[in-house]
Amino acid sequence: MTIGLEGDTSASLRARPIDVSAERSRTIGAAGRHYFNAAGSGLMTDAVIEAMVLHLRLEQRMGGYEAATLRAPELAAGYEAAAALLGARPDEIAFFDSATSGLRAVFDALRLGDGDTVLAPRSSYVSQALRMLALSRYDGVRLRIIETDGTGAMDLDALESELASAPGRTVISAVHIPTSSGLVEPVAEIGALGRRYGALTVLDATQSVGHLEIDVTLLDCDALVTTGRKYVRGPRGTGFVYLRAGMLDGIGGWAPDVRGSVWTGAEEWTMDDTARRLETWEFSVAARLGLGVALGEAIERGAAQTEAHLVSSGTRLRDGLADIAGVSVTDPRASPSGLVTFTVDGVAGKGVSAQLREARIDSISVPAGHAQWDLGARGLASVVRVSPHVYNDDDDTAALLRHVAGIAREASR
Protein backbone atom coordinates (compact mmCIF):
# COMPACT_ATOMS: atom_id res chain seq x y z
CA MET A 1 0.00 0.00 0.00
CA THR A 2 1.40 3.40 -0.95
CA ILE A 3 0.11 6.95 -1.05
CA GLY A 4 1.28 9.86 -3.14
CA LEU A 5 2.82 7.62 -5.82
CA GLU A 6 0.25 7.64 -8.60
CA GLY A 7 1.52 5.87 -11.72
CA ASP A 8 4.23 3.85 -9.97
CA THR A 9 4.00 0.08 -9.74
CA SER A 10 5.48 -1.97 -6.93
CA ALA A 11 7.96 -3.52 -9.38
CA SER A 12 9.21 -0.14 -10.60
CA LEU A 13 9.45 1.12 -7.03
CA ARG A 14 11.61 -1.80 -5.97
CA ALA A 15 13.89 -1.33 -8.98
CA ARG A 16 14.44 2.37 -8.31
CA PRO A 17 17.59 3.04 -6.25
CA ILE A 18 17.85 5.66 -3.54
CA ASP A 19 18.95 9.01 -4.96
CA VAL A 20 21.45 10.04 -2.28
CA SER A 21 22.22 13.38 -3.94
CA ALA A 22 18.54 14.30 -3.97
CA GLU A 23 18.17 13.30 -0.33
CA ARG A 24 21.16 15.43 0.62
CA SER A 25 19.85 18.41 -1.33
CA ARG A 26 16.65 18.49 0.73
CA THR A 27 18.40 17.81 4.04
CA ILE A 28 20.25 20.90 5.22
CA GLY A 29 21.81 18.99 8.13
CA ALA A 30 23.73 16.75 5.72
CA ALA A 31 25.89 19.69 4.64
CA GLY A 32 29.06 20.51 6.55
CA ARG A 33 29.18 17.41 8.76
CA HIS A 34 29.06 13.62 8.58
CA TYR A 35 25.91 12.58 10.39
CA PHE A 36 25.73 8.93 11.54
CA ASN A 37 23.07 9.08 14.26
CA ALA A 38 19.79 8.19 12.52
CA ALA A 39 19.19 5.60 15.26
CA GLY A 40 19.16 8.48 17.74
CA SER A 41 17.43 11.19 15.73
CA GLY A 42 17.45 11.22 11.94
CA LEU A 43 17.94 14.42 10.00
CA MET A 44 14.66 16.04 8.97
CA THR A 45 14.09 17.33 5.46
CA ASP A 46 13.39 20.96 4.67
CA ALA A 47 9.74 20.06 3.93
CA VAL A 48 9.22 18.59 7.41
CA ILE A 49 10.55 21.74 9.06
CA GLU A 50 8.55 23.98 6.74
CA ALA A 51 5.28 22.21 7.63
CA MET A 52 5.95 22.69 11.34
CA VAL A 53 6.98 26.34 11.10
CA LEU A 54 4.03 27.24 8.88
CA HIS A 55 1.62 25.76 11.39
CA LEU A 56 3.25 27.50 14.33
CA ARG A 57 2.84 30.80 12.46
CA LEU A 58 -0.80 29.91 11.92
CA GLU A 59 -1.27 29.23 15.63
CA GLN A 60 0.41 32.54 16.36
CA ARG A 61 -2.07 34.37 14.16
CA MET A 62 -5.35 32.62 14.97
CA GLY A 63 -4.94 30.40 18.03
CA GLY A 64 -4.13 26.77 18.57
CA TYR A 65 -7.60 25.22 18.41
CA GLU A 66 -8.66 27.23 15.38
CA ALA A 67 -5.44 26.39 13.53
CA ALA A 68 -5.86 22.69 14.34
CA THR A 69 -9.38 22.75 12.91
CA LEU A 70 -8.03 24.10 9.62
CA ARG A 71 -5.43 21.34 9.53
CA ALA A 72 -7.88 18.52 10.31
CA PRO A 73 -7.57 16.93 6.83
CA GLU A 74 -3.77 16.80 7.07
CA LEU A 75 -3.96 15.36 10.59
CA ALA A 76 -6.35 12.66 9.39
CA ALA A 77 -4.01 11.88 6.50
CA GLY A 78 -1.28 11.16 9.04
CA TYR A 79 -3.17 8.06 10.20
CA GLU A 80 -3.41 6.88 6.61
CA ALA A 81 0.31 7.42 6.02
CA ALA A 82 1.36 5.62 9.22
CA ALA A 83 -0.95 2.74 8.36
CA ALA A 84 0.40 2.54 4.81
CA LEU A 85 3.98 2.39 6.06
CA LEU A 86 3.13 -0.52 8.39
CA GLY A 87 0.66 -2.43 6.22
CA ALA A 88 -2.13 -1.65 8.70
CA ARG A 89 -5.48 0.13 8.67
CA PRO A 90 -5.85 3.78 9.75
CA ASP A 91 -8.17 2.80 12.60
CA GLU A 92 -5.37 0.61 14.00
CA ILE A 93 -3.05 3.62 14.47
CA ALA A 94 -2.71 5.82 17.55
CA PHE A 95 -0.30 8.75 17.89
CA PHE A 96 1.84 9.58 20.92
CA ASP A 97 4.68 11.89 21.91
CA SER A 98 7.12 8.97 22.00
CA ALA A 99 7.41 5.22 21.60
CA THR A 100 7.85 4.92 25.37
CA SER A 101 4.50 6.64 25.97
CA GLY A 102 2.90 4.32 23.45
CA LEU A 103 4.42 1.24 25.07
CA ARG A 104 3.23 2.38 28.49
CA ALA A 105 -0.30 2.96 27.17
CA VAL A 106 -0.45 -0.52 25.61
CA PHE A 107 0.77 -2.30 28.74
CA ASP A 108 -1.43 -0.18 31.00
CA ALA A 109 -4.45 -1.11 28.91
CA LEU A 110 -3.59 -4.82 29.19
CA ARG A 111 -3.87 -4.61 33.00
CA LEU A 112 -1.40 -7.39 33.67
CA GLY A 113 -1.14 -8.63 37.22
CA ASP A 114 -0.40 -11.49 39.56
CA GLY A 115 -0.25 -14.77 37.63
CA ASP A 116 0.37 -13.19 34.22
CA THR A 117 3.66 -13.61 32.35
CA VAL A 118 5.85 -11.32 30.25
CA LEU A 119 8.59 -12.85 28.09
CA ALA A 120 11.32 -10.43 27.02
CA PRO A 121 14.49 -10.66 24.91
CA ARG A 122 17.98 -9.74 26.02
CA SER A 123 17.89 -7.06 23.33
CA SER A 124 15.33 -5.00 25.30
CA TYR A 125 15.94 -1.24 25.53
CA VAL A 126 16.23 0.32 28.98
CA SER A 127 12.78 1.98 28.96
CA GLN A 128 11.15 -1.24 27.84
CA ALA A 129 13.12 -3.34 30.33
CA LEU A 130 12.36 -1.02 33.25
CA ARG A 131 8.67 -1.17 32.44
CA MET A 132 8.80 -4.96 32.58
CA LEU A 133 10.81 -4.94 35.80
CA ALA A 134 8.30 -2.55 37.38
CA LEU A 135 5.42 -4.84 36.38
CA SER A 136 7.26 -7.71 38.04
CA ARG A 137 8.16 -5.82 41.21
CA TYR A 138 4.92 -3.95 41.84
CA ASP A 139 2.18 -5.90 40.07
CA GLY A 140 3.27 -9.50 40.56
CA VAL A 141 3.81 -10.18 36.87
CA ARG A 142 6.06 -13.15 36.16
CA LEU A 143 9.02 -11.92 34.06
CA ARG A 144 11.24 -14.27 32.06
CA ILE A 145 14.25 -13.16 30.00
CA ILE A 146 14.70 -15.40 26.96
CA GLU A 147 18.29 -16.39 26.22
CA THR A 148 19.96 -15.95 22.84
CA ASP A 149 21.01 -18.56 20.31
CA GLY A 150 24.34 -18.87 18.51
CA THR A 151 23.55 -15.93 16.23
CA GLY A 152 22.84 -13.56 19.11
CA ALA A 153 19.09 -13.47 18.41
CA MET A 154 16.31 -14.69 20.68
CA ASP A 155 16.42 -18.48 21.03
CA LEU A 156 13.12 -19.63 19.52
CA ASP A 157 13.28 -23.04 21.20
CA ALA A 158 13.70 -21.36 24.58
CA LEU A 159 10.81 -19.03 23.77
CA GLU A 160 8.56 -21.92 22.85
CA SER A 161 9.46 -23.76 26.04
CA GLU A 162 8.46 -20.73 28.12
CA LEU A 163 5.26 -20.24 26.14
CA ALA A 164 4.27 -23.87 26.65
CA SER A 165 4.64 -23.64 30.43
CA ALA A 166 3.57 -20.05 31.16
CA PRO A 167 0.59 -19.69 33.51
CA GLY A 168 -2.10 -17.05 33.08
CA ARG A 169 -2.08 -14.51 30.28
CA THR A 170 1.23 -14.21 28.42
CA VAL A 171 2.70 -11.23 26.58
CA ILE A 172 5.87 -11.33 24.50
CA SER A 173 7.64 -7.99 24.75
CA ALA A 174 9.58 -8.30 21.50
CA VAL A 175 12.22 -6.12 19.85
CA HIS A 176 12.91 -5.77 16.13
CA ILE A 177 16.30 -3.97 16.18
CA PRO A 178 17.74 -3.01 19.59
CA THR A 179 19.50 0.20 20.56
CA SER A 180 22.70 -1.69 21.43
CA SER A 181 23.54 -3.48 18.16
CA GLY A 182 22.55 -4.06 14.56
CA LEU A 183 20.77 -7.29 15.51
CA VAL A 184 17.55 -8.06 13.66
CA GLU A 185 15.39 -10.32 15.79
CA PRO A 186 13.29 -13.05 14.07
CA VAL A 187 10.09 -11.19 14.87
CA ALA A 188 7.85 -13.01 12.37
CA GLU A 189 8.77 -16.34 13.96
CA ILE A 190 8.34 -14.84 17.44
CA GLY A 191 4.89 -13.57 16.54
CA ALA A 192 3.89 -16.90 15.01
CA LEU A 193 4.91 -18.74 18.18
CA GLY A 194 2.94 -16.29 20.26
CA ARG A 195 -0.12 -16.83 18.12
CA ARG A 196 0.25 -20.62 18.39
CA TYR A 197 0.25 -20.51 22.18
CA GLY A 198 -2.34 -17.77 22.59
CA ALA A 199 0.13 -15.08 23.70
CA LEU A 200 0.06 -11.42 22.67
CA THR A 201 3.14 -9.95 20.96
CA VAL A 202 3.99 -6.29 21.57
CA LEU A 203 6.83 -5.22 19.28
CA ASP A 204 9.33 -2.42 19.90
CA ALA A 205 10.07 -1.23 16.36
CA THR A 206 11.71 2.09 17.15
CA GLN A 207 14.86 1.22 15.21
CA SER A 208 13.16 -0.59 12.32
CA VAL A 209 10.25 1.55 11.09
CA GLY A 210 11.63 3.64 8.23
CA HIS A 211 14.68 1.35 8.20
CA LEU A 212 13.31 -2.06 7.22
CA GLU A 213 10.28 -2.93 5.14
CA ILE A 214 7.48 -3.77 7.58
CA ASP A 215 4.09 -5.43 7.23
CA VAL A 216 2.45 -6.00 10.59
CA THR A 217 0.33 -8.84 9.22
CA LEU A 218 3.44 -10.73 8.12
CA LEU A 219 5.16 -10.02 11.45
CA ASP A 220 2.08 -11.43 13.22
CA CYS A 221 2.32 -8.88 16.05
CA ASP A 222 -0.63 -7.64 18.07
CA ALA A 223 0.83 -4.22 18.78
CA LEU A 224 3.81 -2.26 17.51
CA VAL A 225 5.32 0.87 19.02
CA THR A 226 7.71 3.21 17.27
CA THR A 227 9.04 6.75 17.22
CA GLY A 228 8.92 9.43 14.57
CA ARG A 229 12.33 10.95 15.16
CA LYS A 230 14.66 8.13 14.07
CA TYR A 231 14.56 6.43 10.66
CA VAL A 232 11.21 7.99 9.75
CA ARG A 233 13.03 11.36 9.97
CA GLY A 234 10.22 13.17 11.75
CA PRO A 235 10.49 15.61 14.66
CA ARG A 236 11.22 14.75 18.27
CA GLY A 237 8.16 14.45 20.46
CA THR A 238 6.34 12.14 18.04
CA GLY A 239 5.58 8.44 18.00
CA PHE A 240 2.83 6.05 17.01
CA VAL A 241 1.35 2.66 17.79
CA TYR A 242 -0.22 -0.05 15.71
CA LEU A 243 -2.90 -1.84 17.71
CA ARG A 244 -4.49 -4.87 16.06
CA ALA A 245 -8.23 -4.39 15.75
CA GLY A 246 -9.97 -6.23 18.57
CA MET A 247 -6.86 -6.66 20.69
CA LEU A 248 -8.33 -4.81 23.66
CA ASP A 249 -11.89 -6.05 23.31
CA GLY A 250 -13.26 -6.87 26.73
CA ILE A 251 -10.41 -5.12 28.54
CA GLY A 252 -11.26 -1.45 28.20
CA GLY A 253 -8.92 1.46 28.76
CA TRP A 254 -6.70 1.94 31.74
CA ALA A 255 -6.75 5.74 31.50
CA PRO A 256 -9.73 6.89 29.40
CA ASP A 257 -9.44 10.43 28.05
CA VAL A 258 -11.74 12.80 26.21
CA ARG A 259 -9.78 12.07 23.03
CA GLY A 260 -10.98 8.47 22.83
CA SER A 261 -13.95 8.39 25.21
CA VAL A 262 -17.37 9.99 25.67
CA TRP A 263 -18.70 10.69 29.17
CA THR A 264 -22.30 9.54 28.80
CA GLY A 265 -23.60 9.73 32.36
CA ALA A 266 -22.64 10.53 35.93
CA GLU A 267 -20.69 7.28 36.23
CA GLU A 268 -20.70 5.99 32.68
CA TRP A 269 -18.60 6.47 29.58
CA THR A 270 -18.04 4.81 26.22
CA MET A 271 -14.72 4.31 24.47
CA ASP A 272 -13.74 4.54 20.83
CA ASP A 273 -13.45 1.10 19.27
CA THR A 274 -10.30 2.09 17.34
CA ALA A 275 -6.69 2.43 18.47
CA ARG A 276 -7.38 6.08 19.26
CA ARG A 277 -8.87 4.98 22.57
CA LEU A 278 -5.25 5.04 23.79
CA GLU A 279 -4.61 8.65 22.79
CA THR A 280 -4.89 11.77 24.90
CA TRP A 281 -6.43 15.05 23.78
CA GLU A 282 -3.42 17.34 23.93
CA PHE A 283 -0.51 17.11 21.47
CA SER A 284 1.76 19.30 19.37
CA VAL A 285 -0.16 19.81 16.14
CA ALA A 286 2.95 21.24 14.47
CA ALA A 287 4.99 18.16 15.36
CA ARG A 288 2.19 15.85 14.21
CA LEU A 289 2.00 17.66 10.86
CA GLY A 290 5.77 17.40 10.48
CA LEU A 291 5.57 13.70 11.18
CA GLY A 292 2.88 13.35 8.53
CA VAL A 293 5.19 14.90 5.95
CA ALA A 294 8.05 12.62 7.03
CA LEU A 295 5.80 9.55 6.76
CA GLY A 296 4.81 10.55 3.24
CA GLU A 297 8.45 10.99 2.29
CA ALA A 298 9.34 7.57 3.71
CA ILE A 299 6.60 5.99 1.61
CA GLU A 300 7.73 7.90 -1.47
CA ARG A 301 11.32 6.69 -1.03
CA GLY A 302 10.05 3.12 -0.84
CA ALA A 303 10.50 0.83 2.15
CA ALA A 304 12.15 -1.93 0.12
CA GLN A 305 14.66 0.43 -1.48
CA THR A 306 15.43 2.11 1.82
CA GLU A 307 16.04 -1.24 3.50
CA ALA A 308 18.33 -2.44 0.71
CA HIS A 309 20.27 0.83 0.81
CA LEU A 310 20.69 0.92 4.58
CA VAL A 311 21.58 -2.77 4.93
CA SER A 312 24.22 -2.32 2.24
CA SER A 313 25.54 0.77 4.02
CA GLY A 314 25.75 -1.18 7.28
CA THR A 315 27.65 -4.00 5.62
CA ARG A 316 30.21 -1.59 4.15
CA LEU A 317 30.72 0.07 7.52
CA ARG A 318 31.15 -3.25 9.36
CA ASP A 319 33.65 -4.46 6.79
CA GLY A 320 35.58 -1.20 6.90
CA LEU A 321 35.67 -1.07 10.70
CA ALA A 322 36.70 -4.73 10.98
CA ASP A 323 39.75 -3.97 8.84
CA ILE A 324 41.04 -1.37 11.32
CA ALA A 325 43.58 -2.64 13.86
CA GLY A 326 42.36 -2.11 17.42
CA VAL A 327 38.70 -1.89 16.42
CA SER A 328 36.17 -4.62 17.18
CA VAL A 329 32.74 -4.77 15.59
CA THR A 330 30.38 -5.79 18.40
CA ASP A 331 27.26 -6.63 16.39
CA PRO A 332 26.14 -10.26 16.73
CA ARG A 333 25.98 -12.49 13.67
CA ALA A 334 22.25 -11.88 13.11
CA SER A 335 22.75 -8.24 12.13
CA PRO A 336 21.52 -7.50 8.59
CA SER A 337 20.74 -3.85 9.29
CA GLY A 338 22.18 -0.38 8.85
CA LEU A 339 22.87 0.04 12.58
CA VAL A 340 26.51 -0.72 13.45
CA THR A 341 28.29 -0.93 16.82
CA PHE A 342 31.98 -1.18 17.63
CA THR A 343 34.66 -0.56 20.26
CA VAL A 344 38.18 0.87 20.08
CA ASP A 345 40.82 -0.75 22.27
CA GLY A 346 41.79 1.49 25.18
CA VAL A 347 39.17 4.19 24.53
CA ALA A 348 35.73 4.33 26.15
CA GLY A 349 32.80 4.66 23.78
CA LYS A 350 32.06 8.16 25.01
CA GLY A 351 35.63 9.18 24.29
CA VAL A 352 35.49 7.82 20.75
CA SER A 353 32.25 9.67 20.04
CA ALA A 354 33.67 12.89 21.49
CA GLN A 355 36.74 12.69 19.26
CA LEU A 356 34.61 11.97 16.21
CA ARG A 357 32.41 14.95 17.01
CA GLU A 358 35.47 17.21 17.00
CA ALA A 359 35.90 16.15 13.36
CA ARG A 360 32.22 16.93 12.68
CA ILE A 361 31.32 13.25 12.60
CA ASP A 362 28.23 12.40 14.63
CA SER A 363 27.92 9.04 16.38
CA ILE A 364 26.73 8.06 19.83
CA SER A 365 28.03 6.00 22.73
CA VAL A 366 25.56 3.45 24.12
CA PRO A 367 26.37 2.55 27.74
CA ALA A 368 25.58 -0.77 29.38
CA GLY A 369 22.98 1.10 31.43
CA HIS A 370 20.84 1.34 28.30
CA ALA A 371 20.97 -2.40 27.63
CA GLN A 372 21.97 -4.35 30.73
CA TRP A 373 20.46 -7.63 29.50
CA ASP A 374 22.59 -7.32 26.35
CA LEU A 375 25.71 -5.18 26.78
CA GLY A 376 25.93 -5.86 30.52
CA ALA A 377 25.62 -9.60 29.95
CA ARG A 378 28.34 -9.44 27.28
CA GLY A 379 30.69 -7.52 29.56
CA LEU A 380 30.67 -4.40 27.39
CA ALA A 381 30.74 -1.14 29.36
CA SER A 382 29.77 0.79 26.23
CA VAL A 383 29.80 0.63 22.46
CA VAL A 384 30.02 3.26 19.75
CA ARG A 385 26.97 3.23 17.51
CA VAL A 386 26.88 4.60 13.98
CA SER A 387 23.68 4.61 11.96
CA PRO A 388 23.65 5.97 8.40
CA HIS A 389 20.59 6.99 6.43
CA VAL A 390 19.78 7.78 2.82
CA TYR A 391 21.52 11.16 3.03
CA ASN A 392 24.97 9.67 3.81
CA ASP A 393 27.35 9.46 0.86
CA ASP A 394 30.73 7.85 0.20
CA ASP A 395 32.58 10.87 1.56
CA ASP A 396 30.79 10.45 4.88
CA THR A 397 31.78 6.79 5.08
CA ALA A 398 35.39 7.51 4.16
CA ALA A 399 35.63 10.28 6.77
CA LEU A 400 34.24 8.05 9.50
CA LEU A 401 36.57 5.14 8.77
CA ARG A 402 39.58 7.44 8.44
CA HIS A 403 39.02 9.13 11.79
CA VAL A 404 38.22 5.89 13.64
CA ALA A 405 41.50 4.49 12.31
CA GLY A 406 43.28 7.56 13.59
CA ILE A 407 41.74 7.21 17.04
CA ALA A 408 42.73 3.54 17.16
CA ARG A 409 46.32 4.30 16.08
CA GLU A 410 46.69 7.02 18.72
CA ALA A 411 45.30 4.75 21.42
CA SER A 412 47.80 2.00 20.59
CA ARG A 413 50.85 4.22 21.10
Query: What are the two backbone dihedrals, phi and then psi, of residue 22, each rounded to the nearest 5 degrees?
Result: -65, -40
What is the percent of the chain with per-residue pLDDT over 90, rounded to a whole number? 91
pLDDT digits (tens, 9 = 90+) for 381-410: 999 999 999 999 999 999 999 999 999 999
Segments forming the whole domain that contains residue 319: 303-412
CATH code of the domain covering residue 362: 3.90.1150.10
pLDDT at site 16: 78
**Does one domain contain both 79 and 120?**
yes
- What mean pLDDT, rounded, does the chain reach? 94
**Does one domain contain both 236 and 327?**
no
Residue 17 lies in a domain: no
- Write down the pTM of the prediction: 0.94
pLDDT digits (tens, 9 = 90+) for 68-100: 999 999 999 999 999 999 999 999 999 999 999
Residue 32 lies in a domain: no
**Does one domain contain both 273 and 330?**
no
Pairing type for strands 364-367 and 382-386 reads antiparallel
Q: Which helix (H) or strand (E) holds 362?
A: strand 361-362
**Does one domain contain both 292 and 315?**
no
C-alpha–C-alpha distance, residues 108 and 113, integer Å? 10
**Does one domain contain both 90 and 207?**
yes
Does pLDDT of 1 surpass 70? no
Task: Please state the domain count of the chain.
Answer: 2
CATH code of the domain covering residue 291: 3.40.640.10
Q: Are 125 and 155 in contact (CB under 8 A)?
A: no
Mean pLDDT of 128-148: 97
**Residue 9 — very low, low, confident or very high, per pLDDT cuts 50/70/90?**
very low
> Which residues does 56 contact at the CB level (< 8 Å), separation at least 6?
286
pLDDT digits (tens, 9 = 90+) for 50-65: 999 999 999 999 999 9
Residue 396 lies in a domain: yes
**Does one domain contain both 310 and 294?**
no
C-alpha–C-alpha distance, residues 367 and 382, integer Å? 4
